[in-house]
């Protein structure tokens, strides 16, 4: 009995020390908290991050928050309990701040992954793609596809943005508008429906934003536009912030007599290079996407994590250090930006197949 008691006291204290914390007896080094799975990329991010962390000898675990911040907070608290030394977080929204504060109290390093964690001063690092450039590519995709530089008549566009709780949505939109605004001012492009000039116009931005990047929300809004603001015009383009929403918008248009063949569809932008959208680009249904190679982001994030954990100065291959653009509202965080790639029908084969991101049979 005494022995048994001793053993359990010992086990309890080892647990408290985080040594047996991972259930299996292995300690956790890096917790990887991804926001959702309804947008395809995050499963790739999660899988690459875990594989890259393990290749460097770390014990890593990945979770998905189902676009539910309280669920993700619980997952992150579990990582902390399991003794994680570093957390890589692709957050749902800024409600993640409370667990980031908990991590800071335990001296656990946090890297904001892809999405800035706003409203928090409790972490130092952010790694992402150049989000403003993603938006510029979307704007450029529309300018090119509509031939706006030489257009003499008026083309009609309607605007969509990503989740109002995702800081990236502001950057994508502002990047796109930086390219489109001169044409709107010249009168060659006319906005149908709500028109925020930038994401700072919150009253109008909220009207075009898509809660939690949900396809059903974008589809319903597009249907509504087709029956109201866009009833009496033929839209030439729709600014869509990512592939999931682009396809929902295209689906809504396809059921309207004005756009019911591929040739009649408006020019629709996207982002992420989701396989279904790559097929749409090949078939002429979606005009473009922006490829952000999740494998590169994941390996850069693990390089950064490795440098931080080893107390070395990070020097991340293929990433540009930006120490001024990303302000959480509490501080400017050190940001590492990777380069996105613009993709249209002209280069999709080269970009997706040559890189090995997709195989030829994936596109069948
Ligand atoms: C990411 C995009 C993604 C979107 C929806 C953004 O934060 O940067 O790549 O499409 O979230 O998941």
Contact residues for 232 (Cβ-Cβ < 8 A; gap 6+):
none
Assess if residue 279 is contained within a domain.
Answer: yes
* % of the chain beyond a pLDDT of 70: 93
pLDDT in tens, 321-363: 999 999 999 999 999 999 999 999 999 999 999 889 999 999 8
Residue of 41, 240, 289 to mutate, ligand 1, most atoms within 8 A of C-beta: 41
Check residue 7 and give its pLDDT. Answer: 47
Q: pLDDT at position 25, please?
A: 56
- Which residue's CA lies nearest to atom 3 of ligand 1? 242
Please say if the pLDDT value at position 1 is more than 70.
no
* 158 found inside a domain: yes
* pLDDT confidence of residue 24: 52
- Ligand 1 mean position to 162 CA, how many Å? 8
Do 257 and 142 share a structural domain?
A: yes
Query: Do residues 64 and 159 share a domain?
Result: no
Q: Please write the tens of the pLDDT for every residue from 271-288.
A: 999 999 999 999 999 999
**191: phi then psi, degrees, rounded to nearest 5:** -85, 130
Return left, alpha or beta for 137; rule: phi > 0 is left, psi -120 to 50 is alpha, else beta: alpha
The answer as to whether 244 is a domain residue is yes
In whole angstroms, what is the distance from residue 359 CA to residue 364 CA?
Answer: 10
- Point out the least confidently predicted range of 4-18, 122-136, 198-212: 4-18
**Rg of the chain taking only CA atoms, in angstroms:** 23
Are residues 225 and 272 both part of a single domain? Answer: yes
What is the rounded distance in angstroms from the CA atom of residue 356 to the CA atom of residue 349? 10
Mutate which of 38, 130, 164, 272 for ligand 1? The one with the most ligand atoms within 8 Å of its CB, which is 272
Is there a single domain that holds both residue 265 and residue 135?
yes
Ligand 1 touching residue 136 (CB < 6 A): no
201 lies in the same domain as 96: no
> Is 87 part of any domain?
yes
Containing structural domain, residue 61:
12-123+293-338
How confident is the model over 164-186, as a mean pLDDT?
98
Do 227 and 141 sit in the same domain of this protein?
yes
Taking the CA of residue 131 as reference, the ligand 1 atom at the shortest distance is 8
Q: Are 28 and 83 in contact (CB under 8 A)?
A: yes
Asked if residue 320 belongs to a domain, the reply is: yes
CATH value at residue 164: 3.40.50.2300
Together in a domain, 78 and 178: no
Question: Does 29 contact ligand 1 (Cβ within 6 A)?
Answer: no
* Candidate of 116, 168, 211, 337 to mutate for ligand 1, largest count of ligand atoms within 8 Å of Cβ: 168
The reported pTM is 0.92
- pLDDT at 12 > cutoff 60: no
Residue 60 lies in a domain: yes
Alpha helices in 39-96 (DSSP H): 41-55, 69-81
Residues 158, 229 contacting (CB under 8 angstroms): yes
Query: Total domain count for the chain?
Result: 2
């Amino acid at each position: 009995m005494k022995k048994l008691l001793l053993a359990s006291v010992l086990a309890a204290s080892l647990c408290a020390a985080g040594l047996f914390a991972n259930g299996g007896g292995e300690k956790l080094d890096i917790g990887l908290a991804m926001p959702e799975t309804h947008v395809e990329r995050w499963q790739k991010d999660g899988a690459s991050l875990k594989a890259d962390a393990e290749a460097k000898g770390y014990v890593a675990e990945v979770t998905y928050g189902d676009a539910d911040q309280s669920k993700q907070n619980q997952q992150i608290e579990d990582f902390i309990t399991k003794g994680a030394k570093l957390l890589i977080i692709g957050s749902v929204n800024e409600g993640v701040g409370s667990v980031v504060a908990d991590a800071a109290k335990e001296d656990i390093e946090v890297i904001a992954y892809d999405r800035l964690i706003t409203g928090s001063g409790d972490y130092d690092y952010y790694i992402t793609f150049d989000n403003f450039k993603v938006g510029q590519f979307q704007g450029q995709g529309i300018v090119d596809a509509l031939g706006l530089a030489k257009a003499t008549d008026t083309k009609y566009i309607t605007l969509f943005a990503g989740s109002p709780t995702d800081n990236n949505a502001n950057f994508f939109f502002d990047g796109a508008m930086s390219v489109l605004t001169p044409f709107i001012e010249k009168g060659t492009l006319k906005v149908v429906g709500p028109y925020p000039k930038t994401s700072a116009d919150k009253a109008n931005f909220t009207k075009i934003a898509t809660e939690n990047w949900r396809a059903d929300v974008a589809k319903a809004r597009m249907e509504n536009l087709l029956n109201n603001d866009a009833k009496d015009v033929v839209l030439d383009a729709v600014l869509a912030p990512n592939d999931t929403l682009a396809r929902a918008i295209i689906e809504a248009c396809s059921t309207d007599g004005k756009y019911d063949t591929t040739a009649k569809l408006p020019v629709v932008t996207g982002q992420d290079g989701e396989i279904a959208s790559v097929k749409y680009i090949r078939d002429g249904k979606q005009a473009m996407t922006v490829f952000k190679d999740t494998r590169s982001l994941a390996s850069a994030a693990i390089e950064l994590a490795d440098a931080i954990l080893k107390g070395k100065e990070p020097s991340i291959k293929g990433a540009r250090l930006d120490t001024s653009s990303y302000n959480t509202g509490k501080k400017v965080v050190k940001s590492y930006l990777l380069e996105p790639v613009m993709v249209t029908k002209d280069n999709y084969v080269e970009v997706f197949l040559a890189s090995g991101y997709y195989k030829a049979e994936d596109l069948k």
